[in-house]
Amino acid sequence: MSIQVSKLPHANQKHVDRKIIKLAIMAVGGQGGGVLTNWIEKCASSNGYAVQATSVAGVAQRTGATIYYIEMLQTGIEKPVFALMPSAGDVDILIASEMAEAGRAIVRGFVTPERTTLIASTHRILAVAEKSVPGDGIMPTEEVETSAKAAAKRLINFDMEKIAVETGSVISASLYGALAGSKTLPFSRESFEAAIRSSDYGVEASLSAFSVAFEHVEKQEIKPTKEASQRVTPTYKAIGNAKLVADWQVLEAEVEKLPGVVQPTALLGLRKVVDFQDTKYGHTYLNRLVHITEYDDSTTEYRLSREAAKQIANAMAYDDVIRVADLKTRGERMIRIKQELGTNWNNGLKITEFLHPRAEEIVGMLPTKIGSFIEKRSGWMKLITRIFSKRLLVRTDTLKGFLLLYFLGGLRNFRRRSFRYSFEQTHINKWLSSALAYIPNDYELAVGVIRARRLIKGYADTHARGSSKYDRVLAGINLLSGRRDAFHWLQRLEESAMKDEHANNLNETLKKIRSVELL
C-alpha cells in the first residue's frame, strides 16, 4: 500500500500577499468577552472573511483571567488553517479589558513592536491579592504603561470602562468601539455596528458606548490628550457662621507661622480636626504640631513635622460613635450617595446602615470617670456586650432612624468629657513624647514612631489588632535605638507591619531584630 496524501487547496499567486489577522482578547471572566468575540466574528464574516474564534468556557473562567482568540483571512472557497490560541510575537491586535491584563499580555509576549496594536482600557479591576493586603497593595500601572508604549506598535489607551458606565452599557461595547475606531481591521464602521444590531438585547446602549469609544480613538489620534493629571492639593475656604470663620482665620494665621513645607499638610490636618470637633480642638492640634517643629529643621526638610501634621490629625480625628453618626447624617452625604448611585430625585431612596457597636465603643461615650470605672470591670462589660449583642439596622431615610443618629452625632459638644476622648488624648501625648525622645540621635526612628500611628485604624477587632501592631512596632523601634543599621530595620519593620493581617511577618522581623541584637 502506498501513502495517499490528502488534497489541500494549492497555493497560487493570489494568496501570497494575504495574511491572517490574529486578534486576542485578554479579559476577566464576567466582562462580556464572549459577546465581544461574537461581534468581531460576525463583522468579519459579513465582510467575506473566513474567521475562527476560540474561547474557554466553564468554571476556570469565573471572574478569572481568560483569553478569547480570533483569526481571520480574506478568502475564497479555500479554508485556511487557523490556530486555536495566540503565540508570543504573533498577534496583530491585542485587546486588554483592563490594565493588569494588558501587563499580562506583554509578559506573555503577545504584544510586539513590529506588529501589535494594543487596545487597552486604562482602568483597573483589582485582584483579590491586591485588595486583601491591609496596606496599599494595589500594583502600580505606571510600569505597565511604559512597557505598553515600548512593546506595542500602536497603543490605544483610555478608560473604556468609564465610557461603558456613562452610556449604561458594558465594557465589551466600548472595547469594540475602540477596535473599530482604531481602523486596524479593514471593515467599515457600519459593518461593525451591524453586528451589534443583530444582538438580542441592549442594542441601543451598546451602540452608544461603541460610538463614544470610536470617536474617542479618532480624537486621540489627532491630538493626544494627557489623561493623567497631577493630583493638586485642593485649597479650601471656610464659610458659615461669622464668629467661627473669624476663629478659623486665627488658626490659619497660626499655620502661616509654620515652616513653609509643613503648611499645606497642616492646613489639611487642621481642617480635619476642626471638622471633627471645633476650632478649639484646632488650637490643640496646632500646639502639638508647633511643639514637634521645634525639634525639626530644614536640613531634614521637616520630614518629621510633615509626617506629624498628617498623623496627628488622623489620630485626633479618631473614629467614635459620635463621628460615625455625624458623618452619616450630613446633607452632603446624601448628595454623594445619589450621585454615586446615579439615581435622580424623582426616585425614592431607602438607606439602611449596618451598625454593631461593641461594648468598648458604648463605654467610650460615657463620662470619663464612669467609663474608666466600667471598663476595668469585665462583668459590666459583658453585660453591656449582651445588651448590644444584636446589630442595629438603622434606616437613616426615616425620621426615627435619622433622629437616633442625629442625636448621637449631636453629642459632639459632650465629647470632651467622654472616656474615649481622654483615652485618646493620653495616647497621643504618650506617642508624641516617645517619638521626640529619639531626637536628636535617631531622627529616622522618631519619624518611624510618628508614622507607626498609621497602623491604628478601624473599629472593634481591627482597631485592637492595629493597636497591638503599633505597640510591637514601637517596642521594635526601641530595640533599634542607637544602632547603625537602625534605618534598614525600621523599613523592614514598617513593611512587615503593613502587609500582614495577623502580624506573623511582624513577629518574625521582631525576632530577627532581637537575635541580631544579641550578637
Partner 1 sequence: MAERSFSKEVQKLKLGEGELFTGEGILAITKALLECGVGYVGGYQGAPISHLMDVLADAEEILADLDVRFEANASESAAASMLSASVHYPIRGAVTFKGPVGVNVASDALANLSSSGVTGGALIIIGEDYGEGSSIMQERSHAFAMKSQLWMLDPRPNLPSIVNAVEQGFLLSEATNTPVMLMLGIRSCHVTGSFKTQNNKRPTLSVQDASAEPRKSFSRVVLPPMSFIQEQDKIKNRWPAAQSYIQKNRLNEFFGPSNSSIGIVLQGGMYNNLIRALQRLNLSDLYGNTKIPLYVLNVAYPLINNEFLEFCNDKDAVLVIEQGQPEFIEQAFGSMLFRADSKTKLYGKDLLPMAGEYTGDILMTGVTAFLKKTAPQLLPVKNSKSFSQEKYKSFPELSGNVPPRPPGFCIGCPERPIFSAMKLVEQELGSHQITGDIGCHLFASLPPFEIGGSTMGYGLGPASNAAFDGGGEKRSISILGDGGFWHNGLSSSIGNAVFNNSDSVIVIIDNFSSAATGGQDIPSSRSENTSKSTNHPIAKAVKGVGVNWVREINNTYKVEQIRKTLNEALTTKFKGPKVIIASSECMLNRQRREKPLIARSIRAQRRIEKTLFGVDPDICTGDYACIRLSGCPSLTLKKADDPLKDDPVASIDQNCVGCGNCGEVASSAMLCPSFYRADIIVNPSKFERFWLKLRQHVICWLQTNRQRHRLSFEEYTP
**Residues from 435 through 474 that contact partner 1 (CB under 8 A):** 454, 457-462, 466
Q: Tell me if 249 contacts partner 1 by CB under 8 A.
A: no
Find out whether 194 and 39 touch, Cβ atoms under 8 Å: no
Q: Which of 77, 140, 229, 230 binds partner 1 (CB under 8 A)?
A: 140
Mention every residue, 6+ apart, whose C-beta is less than 8 A from residue 456. 315, 463, 466, 467, 470
Please state whether beta strands 93-96 and 65-74 pair in parallel, antiparallel, or not at all (unpaired): unpaired
CB of 288 vs partner 1, minimal distance in Å: 15
Nearer Cβ to partner 1 (498/513) = 498
Task: Give whichever of 18 and 219 is closer to partner 1, judged by the CB atom.
Answer: 18
C-alpha cell at 65: 483571567
Cβ 83 vs Cβ 73: under 8 Å: no
Rule CB under 8 A: choose which of 35, 46, 80, 191 binds partner 1.
80
406: nearest Cα among 392, 424, 394, 416: 394
- Closest separation in Å from C-beta 444 to partner 1: 18
Residues constituting the chain: 519
Half-sphere exposure at residue 29, Cβ-oriented, CA atoms within 13 angstroms: 13
Full 3-state SS string of 55-95: CCCCHHHCCCEEEEEEEEEECCCCCCCCCCCCCCCCCCEEE
Strand order in the sheet with 65-74: 49-54, 65-74, 21-28, 93-96, 117-121, 154-158
316 vs 421: CA distance, rounded Å:
9
Smallest distance, partner 1 to C-beta of residue 517, A: 29
Stated as kind and residue range, the H or E segment containing 51 is strand 49-54
Least Å distance, CB 206 to partner 1, is 14
Size of interface with partner 1, in residues (CB under 8 A) = 152
Site mask for partner 1 (CB under 8 A), range 286-325, x = bound: ------------------------x--xx----x----x-
Residue of 169, 329, 418, 496 that binds partner 1 (CB under 8 A): 329
Q: What CA–CA distance (Å, rounded) separates 353 from 395?
A: 6
10 belongs to the binding site for partner 1 (CB under 8 A): yes
Q: Does 374 bind partner 1 (CB under 8 A)?
A: no
| Closest distance to partner 1 from the beta carbon of 112 (Å) | 6
CB 110 → partner 1: shortest distance, Å? 10
Q: Which amino acid, residue 178?
A: A
CB of 480 to partner 1, least distance (A): 22
518 near partner 1, judged by CB under 8 A:
no
Q: Which residue in the set 347, 376, 515, 518 belongs to the binding site for partner 1 (CB under 8 A)?
A: 347
Decide if 285 contacts 312 (C-beta within 8 A): yes
Residues 30-49, interacting with partner 1 (CB under 8 A):
30, 41, 45
Site string for partner 1, 398-417 (x = CB under 8 A): xx--xx--x--xx-------
Is residue 381 a contact point for partner 1 (CB under 8 A)? no
What type of residue sits at position 155?
A: L
Residues 32, 33, 134, 448: which binds partner 1 (CB under 8 A)? 134
For the CB of residue 432, give the shortest distance to partner 1 in the complex, in Å. Answer: 17
60 versus 516: smaller Cβ distance to partner 1: 60
Q: Decide: is 354 part of the binding site for partner 1 (CB under 8 A).
A: yes
- Strand partners for 24: 69, 94
Cβ proximity to partner 1, 433 vs 462, nearer residue: 462
Name the grid cell of 485.
543599621
| Residue list 170-199, contact with partner 1 (CB under 8 A) | none
Residue among 12 and 299 whose Cβ is closer to partner 1: 12
SS3 state of residue 26: strand
Least distance to partner 1 from the beta carbon of 101, Å?
Answer: 8
What whole-number distance in Å separates Cα of residue 505 and Cα of residue 510?
9
66 binds partner 1 (CB under 8 A): yes
Strand partners, 50: 73
Contacting residue, 235, 298, 339, 515, with partner 1 by CB under 8 A: 235
Q: Out of 346, 515, 518, 519, point to the residue binding partner 1 (CB under 8 A).
A: 346
Task: Report the alpha-carbon distance of residue 205 to residue 189 in Å, rounded.
Answer: 17
Q: Does 234 bind partner 1 (CB under 8 A)?
A: yes
Q: Does 9 bind partner 1 (CB under 8 A)?
A: yes
List of residues 6+ apart from 261 with CB closer than 8 A = 301, 302, 306
**Selected range binding partner 1 among 71-79, 208-216, 253-261, 422-430, rule: CB under 8 A:** 71-79
Question: Quick check: 373 and 422 in contact, CB under 8 A?
Answer: no
